[in-house]
Amino acid sequence: MKKSSKGGINPTDPSQYMNIWVVNSMGGILGYAQFPGGNPATDGIVVAH
């Protein structure tokens, strides 16, 4: 979901924007986010729809 090569959308610059990915289902998980200071290539929030 966080990479176009895997069918998602690549993140934008997390120092300028908040990346939010909305997905259909995650097997009972409603969403998750990564802690600050993590990999900027995956920095953002994932929410189940």
Instruction: Report the predicted TM-score, pTM, of the whole model to 2 decimal places.
Output: 0.76
Domain positions in the chain: 4-48
The one-digit pLDDT tens for each residue of the chain (49 residues) are 778 888 888 888 888 999 999 998 888 899 999 888 888 888 899 999 8
- List the Cα angle 43/48/49 in 5-degree steps: 130
Q: What is the pLDDT of residue 6?
A: 84
Q: Return d(Cα 36, Cα 3) in angstroms, integer.
A: 20
d(CA 17, CA 13): 6
Give CA–CA dist 11/1, Å, rounded.
10
Q: What is the DSSP string of 23-47?
A: ES--TT--EEEPPTTS-GGG-SEEE
